[in-house]
């Protein structure tokens, strides 16, 4: 250590001598003299007039107690960075004044390397350096991170930090004024012992000192939100919140801040974010469908607008762009739904049909067979009429397939209001027969879009089964003929990637296969499972389908 201090003193003498005389006139150790001359030689393309301002700015940095004599590589890097970012000298002095112990050469090399890569206001840069020094002083960051996790330093110095004045931030970092930053730092230090990744640490840091996404700027409203969370939640829980969860809470806060001011969360050690979100709505009732879809990130942009509309205290009925105009009874059904697997859009359509038929199974079958929500009004009106006429829920799928083809595709007008259900079923069976007897013509070998779900083989109770995607039009044709249903008519939905068709098959002797159940996959859901003549799967088939769905991360809602 003494030798290092001695060389640093000699280097300051050399720099002063060069500034006064334009050359070296004093005698110092050979190592320091060679060090400085090598630096000058390497900068031979620069004139003395270019070098002198740098050396003048360097002297105060060499006087900083926590900054060691820079290695030759560090000095060269500093010079090159200074030419583009002269403020770097002030940054280094400021950081040195905040540190309690002297870091290594590698630390300063990394700081120089990262400084100035995000040029913004001086107060904001000082905030970043204050944050960095505090984390280093508390042991949240250490020399190991300099070598193996430099991305943490990069995140702090290049990403937007909450724009507070320096004194406020430093008070907050010390844990004053009710802020729990120290507790968050202690939590990071604790989880580091258990091998938490650098990416996870970066995520924790960004939550507390940066907005959760590029779309959310740091504004007084965001600061108010973060500070309010600190008042409502213990620091150890704040420390494990991630951007996705912070962004969700902020979305609710923006649209209804009163929920947070009146909020009294029942915080426990194992509190989960979904329960935390639900606790906000203890006295403000919204549909469970909204809460589930919001937490799982399955909402479309339009559905989020409907949610925001409700958060502002409005009735869902008055939201713009709904797939169907809701009645008051339908809105009540929607508000009382218990979640399930339906999207917000499909839940609204489900509520509309359920409000008319009061038959959950029938309504669910309608939703499962619905391919396009743009025709919601047509289907709600049509299927409520057929239900009133006596159509069974077991016949919903084939009825909708038939009506879709005849009315929406071929443009044929059907008088369904006066059609007797037995006669409608006869028409449907005749259509199936005609459909499956039609020649495939040019589409026979045409490929269907790939769902990218591998074929799956299952051995169960001594028998071999497989679940495979039907990837050709001819496969749909043969599946429909074998099981006597209209899956062949789904080819246009497969072409447009609205759905994918799979088949559960029994593998017999000599690798012959027998189709048992046809499955329709839409998104990540199995919405239909039909056997011969549209029968429901039996107990064994259901078990096989559920095992496959679990492995492929699909939900079974058929």
Q: Over the stretch 49-69, which tens digit does the pLDDT of each residue have? A: 788 999 999 999 999 989 998
Is 258 a domain residue?
no
At 374-431, the pLDDT tens digits run 899 999 999 999 999 999 988 898 889 889 888 888 888 888 888 899 999 898 888 8
Residue 508 has pLDDT above 70, yes or no: yes
Is 260 a domain residue?
no
Residue 422 shares a structural domain with residue 472: no
At 23-51, the pLDDT tens digits run 888 888 888 888 988 888 888 788 777 88
Is 426 a domain residue?
yes
- Cβ neighbours of 97 (radius 10 Å): 12
Residue 102 shares a structural domain with residue 224: yes
- Domain boundary, last residue among 244, 278, 311: 244
Residues 92 and 90: their CA atoms lie apart, in Å, by 5
Report the percent of the chain where pLDDT is more than 90: 29
Residue 513 shares a structural domain with residue 426: no
Residue 359 shares a structural domain with residue 415: yes
Residues 155 and 141: their CA atoms lie apart, in Å, by 13
Residue 461 shares a structural domain with residue 409: no
Residue 497 has pLDDT above 90, yes or no: no
At 267-281, the pLDDT tens digits run 665 567 778 888 888
Residues 127 and 173: their CA atoms lie apart, in Å, by 11
What's the average model confidence in pLDDT over 322-337? Answer: 94
Residue 310 shares a structural domain with residue 410: yes
Per-residue pLDDT band at 253 (split at 50, 70, 90): very high
Residues 146 and 103: their CA atoms lie apart, in Å, by 10
Is 250 a domain residue?
no
Q: Which pLDDT score is estimated for 483?
A: 87
Residue 334 has pLDDT above 90, yes or no: yes
Residues 210 and 5: their CA atoms lie apart, in Å, by 39
Residue 516 shares a structural domain with residue 546: yes
- Domain boundary, last residue among 244, 273, 303: 244
Is 264 a domain residue?
no
What's the average model confidence in pLDDT over 434-462? Answer: 75
Q: Which pLDDT score is estimated for 505?
A: 94
Is 228 a domain residue?
yes
Q: Which range of residues forms the domain containing residue 69? A: 2-244
266 CB-contact burial (10 Å; exposed 0-12 / middle 13-18 / buried 19+): exposed
82 CB-contact burial (10 Å; exposed 0-12 / middle 13-18 / buried 19+): buried
Residue 179 shares a structural domain with residue 319: no
Residue 465 shares a structural domain with residue 416: no
Looking at the structure of the chain, the number of domains it has is 3
Report the percent of the chain where pLDDT is more than 70: 84
- Domain boundary, last residue among 244, 259, 281: 244
Residues 188 and 426: their CA atoms lie apart, in Å, by 69
Per-residue pLDDT band at 262 (split at 50, 70, 90): confident
SS3 46: coil
Residue 160 has pLDDT above 80, yes or no: no
Residue 206 shares a structural domain with residue 63: yes
Residue 433 shares a structural domain with residue 460: no
Residue 212 shares a structural domain with residue 319: no
């Amino acid at each position: 250590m003494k030798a290092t201090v001695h060389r640093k003193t000699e280097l300051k003498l050399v720099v002063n001598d060069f500034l006064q005389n334009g050359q070296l006139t004093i005698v110092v150790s050979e190592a320091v003299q060679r060090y400085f001359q090598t630096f000058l030689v390497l900068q031979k393309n620069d004139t003395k007039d270019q070098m002198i301002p740098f050396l003048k700015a360097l002297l105060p940095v060499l006087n900083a107690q926590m900054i060691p004599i820079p290695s030759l590589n560090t000095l060269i890097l500093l010079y090159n960075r200074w030419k583009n970012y002269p403020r770097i000298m002030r940054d280094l002095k400021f950081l040195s004044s905040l540190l309690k112990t002297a870091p290594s050469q590698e630390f300063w090399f990394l700081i120089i390397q990262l400084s100035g890569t995000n040029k913004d206001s001086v107060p904001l840069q000082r905030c970043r350096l204050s944050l960095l020094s505090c984390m280093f002083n508390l042991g949240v960051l250490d020399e190991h991170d300099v070598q193996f996790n430099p991305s943490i330093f990069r995140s702090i110095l290049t990403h937007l930090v909450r724009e507070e004045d320096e004194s406020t931030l430093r008070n907050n970092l010390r844990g004053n004024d009710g802020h729990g930053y120290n507790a968050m730092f202690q939590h990071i230090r604790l989880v580091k012992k258990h091998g938490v990744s650098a990416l996870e640490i970066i995520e924790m840091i960004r939550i507390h000192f940066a907005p959760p996404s590029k779309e959310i700027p740091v504004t007084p409203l965001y600061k108010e939100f973060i500070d309010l969370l600190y008042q409502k939640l213990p620091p150890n829980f704040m420390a494990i919140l991630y951007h996705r969860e912070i962004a969700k809470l902020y979305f609710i806060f923006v649209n209804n801040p009163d929920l947070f001011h009146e909020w009294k969360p029942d915080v426990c050690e194992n509190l989960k974010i979904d329960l935390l979100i639900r606790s906000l709505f203890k006295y403000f009732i919204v549909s469970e469908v909204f809460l589930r879809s919001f937490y799982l990130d399955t909402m479309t942009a339009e559905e989020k607008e409907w949610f925001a509309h409700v958060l502002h205290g409005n009735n869902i009925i008055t939201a713009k762009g709904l797939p169907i105009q809701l009645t008051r009874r339908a809105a009540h059904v929607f508000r009382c739904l218990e979640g399930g697997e339906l999207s917000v859009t499909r839940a609204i359509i489900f509520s509309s049909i359920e409000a008319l038929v009061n038959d959950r199974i029938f309504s669910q079958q309608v939703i499962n067979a619905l391919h396009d929500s743009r025709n919601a009004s047509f289907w709600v009106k049509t299927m409520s009429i057929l239900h009133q006429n006596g159509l069974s829920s077991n016949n919903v799928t084939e009825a909708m397939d038939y009506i879709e083809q005849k009315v929406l595709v071929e443009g044929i007008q059907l008088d369904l209001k006066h059609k007797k259900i037995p006669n409608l079923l006869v028409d449907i069976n005749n259509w199936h027969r005609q459909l499956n007897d039609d020649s495939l013509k040019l589409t026979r070998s045409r490929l269907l879009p790939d769902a990218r779900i591998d074929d799956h083989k299952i051995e169960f109770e001594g028998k071999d089964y497989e679940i495979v995607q039907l990837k050709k039009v001819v496969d749909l044709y043969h599946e429909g003929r074998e099981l006597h249903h209209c899956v062949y008519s789904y080819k246009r939905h497969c072409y447009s990637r609205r759905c994918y068709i799979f088949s559960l098959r029994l593998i017999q002797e000599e690798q012959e296969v027998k189709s048992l159940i046809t499955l329709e996959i839409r998104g990540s859901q199995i919405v239909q499972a039909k056997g011969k003549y549209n029968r429901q799967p039996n107990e064994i088939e259901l078990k096989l389908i559920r095992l496959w769905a679990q492995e492929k991360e699909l939900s079974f809602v058929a």
